[in-house]
Chain A
Amino acid sequence: MLTFVGKRLVYVAPVAIGVSIVCFLLVHLAPGDPLSAILPVDATQETIEQMRAAYGFDKPLPVQYALWLWRVLQGDLGTSIATGRPVIGEVGRAVVNSLILASVATLIGFAFGTFFGFVAGYFRNSPLDRAASAIAVFGVSVPHYWLGMVMVIVFSATLGWLPPTGAGPDGSGNWRPDLAHLRHLILPAITMSVIPMGVIARTVRALVGDILSQDFVSALRAKGLGEFGVFRHVVKNAAPTALAVMGLQLGYLLGGSILIETVFAWPGTGFLLNAAIFQRDLPLLQGSILVLAMFFVLLNLAVDILQTALDPRIERG
Chain B
Amino acid sequence: MSPETEPLVKVENLAVAFRGGVRAVDGVDLTVRRGEVVALIGESGSGKSVTLRAIMRLNPERTSRVEGRIRVAGQDVMALPKRALADFRGRTVAMIFQEPLLALDPVYTLGRQIAEAVRRHEGVSEAEARARALAMFERVRIPSPERRLDAYPHEMSGGMRQRAMIALALACRPQLLLADEPTTALDATVQIQILLLLRELQRELGLSAIFVTHDLGAAVEVADRIAVMYAGRIVEEGSARQVVLSPQHPYTVGLLKSRADGALAKGARLVTIPGSPPDLARRPPGCAFAPRCPLADEACRRDPPVVSPAPGHRAACWRVPGADAAEPAQRADAA
* The 5 A-B residue pairs with the shortest CB-CB distance in the complex, in nearest-first order: A224-B90, A223-B90, A215-B102, A219-B103, A223-B117
Roughly how many angstroms separate A221 CA and B60 CA in the complex, as a whole number?
11
Of the candidate stretches B104-112, B195-203, B313-321, the one touching chain A is: B104-112
Q: A79 near B: Cβ within 8 Å?
A: no
Question: Do B107 and A221 touch (CB < 8 A)?
Answer: no
Give per-residue flags for B59-86: 1 if the beta carbon is below 8 A from chain A beta carbons, else 0.
0000000000000000000000011001
Q: B97 near A: Cβ within 8 Å?
A: yes
Give per-residue flags for A211-236: 1 if the beta carbon is below 8 A from chain B beta carbons, else 0.
00011101111111110010001001
8 A Cβ contacts from A183-230 to B: 214-216, 218-226, 229
Question: Which residue of A is nearest B106, CB measured?
Answer: A313
Chain B residues positioned under 8 Å from A220 (CB to CB): 105
Chain A residues positioned under 8 Å from B303 (CB to CB): none
Given contacts A219-B105, A237-B107, A312-B107, 19 further A-B contacts (CB under 8 A): A216-B106, A218-B53, A219-B95, A219-B104, A221-B58, A221-B86, A222-B56, A223-B90, A223-B94, A223-B117, A223-B169, A224-B86, A225-B116, A229-B116, A229-B120, A236-B105, A237-B105, A312-B106, A312-B154
Question: Which residue of A is nearest B89, CB measured?
Answer: A224
Question: Which residue of A is nearest B178, CB measured?
Answer: A222
8 A Cβ contacts from B154-180 to A: 154, 168-169, 172
Question: Do A313 and B104 touch (CB < 8 A)?
Answer: no
CB distance from B212 to the nearest CB of A (A): 14
Question: Do A313 and B152 touch (CB < 8 A)?
Answer: yes
Roughly how many angstroms separate A201 CA and B177 CA in the complex, as a whole number?
40
Roughly how many angstroms separate A229 CA and B299 CA in the complex, as a whole number?
53
Question: Which residue of A is nearest B59, CB measured?
Answer: A218
Q: A76 near B: Cβ within 8 Å?
A: no
Q: A311 near B: Cβ within 8 Å?
A: yes
Roughly how many angstroms separate A240 CA and B90 CA in the complex, as a whole number?
29
Chain A residues positioned under 8 Å from B58 (CB to CB): 218, 221-222
CB distance from B68 to the nearest CB of A (A): 20
Question: Do B94 and A222 touch (CB < 8 A)?
Answer: yes
Roughly how many angstroms separate A218 CA and B107 CA in the complex, as a whole number?
16
Q: B257 near A: Cβ within 8 Å?
A: no
Question: Do A311 and B120 touch (CB < 8 A)?
Answer: no
Question: Do B90 and A233 touch (CB < 8 A)?
Answer: no
Question: Which residue of A is nearest B102, CB measured?
Answer: A215
Chain B residues positioned under 8 Å from A229 (CB to CB): 116, 120
Roughly how many angstroms separate A312 CA and B156 CA in the complex, as a whole number?
13
Roughly how many angstroms separate A223 CA and B170 CA in the complex, as a whole number?
10
Question: Do B106 and A224 touch (CB < 8 A)?
Answer: no
Question: Which residue of A is nearest B87, CB measured?
Answer: A224
- In this complex, how many residues of chain A approach chain B with their Cβ under 8 Å: the count is 21
Task: Give B residues with C-beta under 8 Å from A.
Answer: 53, 56, 58, 82-83, 86-91, 94-95, 97, 99, 102-108, 116-117, 120-121, 152, 154, 168-169, 172
Q: Which of A219, A224, A225 contacts B97 (CB 8 A)?
A: A219
Question: Do B154 and A224 touch (CB < 8 A)?
Answer: no
CB distance from A14 to the nearest CB of B (A): 31
Q: Known A233-B108, A313-B154; judge A214-B102 contact (CB<8 A).
A: yes
Chain A residues positioned under 8 Å from B99 (CB to CB): 215
Chain A residues positioned under 8 Å from B86 (CB to CB): 221, 224-226
Roughly how many angstroms separate A218 CA and B86 CA in the complex, as a whole number?
12
Chain A residues positioned under 8 Å from B104 (CB to CB): 216, 219
Chain B residues positioned under 8 Å from A240 (CB to CB): 107
Most buried by A among B87, B89, B152, B154: B89
Question: Do A313 and B95 touch (CB < 8 A)?
Answer: no
Question: Do A236 and B107 touch (CB < 8 A)?
Answer: yes
Chain B residues positioned under 8 Å from A237 (CB to CB): 105-107
Roughly how many angstroms separate A219 CA and B89 CA in the complex, as a whole number?
10
Roughly how many angstroms separate A101 CA and B184 CA in the complex, as a whole number?
55
Question: Which residue of B is nearest A239, CB measured?
Answer: B107
Roughly how many angstroms separate A310 CA and B107 CA in the complex, as a whole number?
8
Roughly how many angstroms separate A193 CA and B106 CA in the complex, as a whole number?
32
CB distance from B165 to the nearest CB of A (A): 8
Chain B residues positioned under 8 Å from A218 (CB to CB): 53, 58, 97, 103
Most buried by A among B56, B58, B106, B120: B106
Question: Do A222 and B89 touch (CB < 8 A)?
Answer: yes
Question: Do B107 and A313 touch (CB < 8 A)?
Answer: yes
CB distance from A236 to the nearest CB of B (A): 5
Question: Do B107 and A311 touch (CB < 8 A)?
Answer: yes
Question: Do B87 and A222 touch (CB < 8 A)?
Answer: no
Question: Do B120 and A225 touch (CB < 8 A)?
Answer: yes
Chain A residues positioned under 8 Å from B82 (CB to CB): 226
Roughly how many angstroms separate A218 CA and B102 CA in the complex, as a whole number?
10
Chain B residues positioned under 8 Å from A236 (CB to CB): 105, 107-108
Question: Do A312 and B152 touch (CB < 8 A)?
Answer: yes
Roughly how many angstroms separate A237 CA and B108 CA in the complex, as a whole number?
9
Question: Which residue of A is nearest B169, CB measured?
Answer: A223
Chain B residues positioned under 8 Å from A219 (CB to CB): 95, 97, 103-105
8 A Cβ contacts from A49-68 to B: none
Chain A residues positioned under 8 Å from B121 (CB to CB): 224
CB distance from B174 to the nearest CB of A (A): 10
CB distance from B52 to the nearest CB of A (A): 10
Give per-residue flags for A150-184: 1 if the beta carbon is below 8 A from chain B beta carbons, else 0.
00000000000000000000000000000000000
Chain A residues positioned under 8 Å from B106 (CB to CB): 216, 237, 312-313
CB distance from B121 to the nearest CB of A (A): 6
Roughly how many angstroms separate A226 CA and B106 CA in the complex, as a whole number?
19
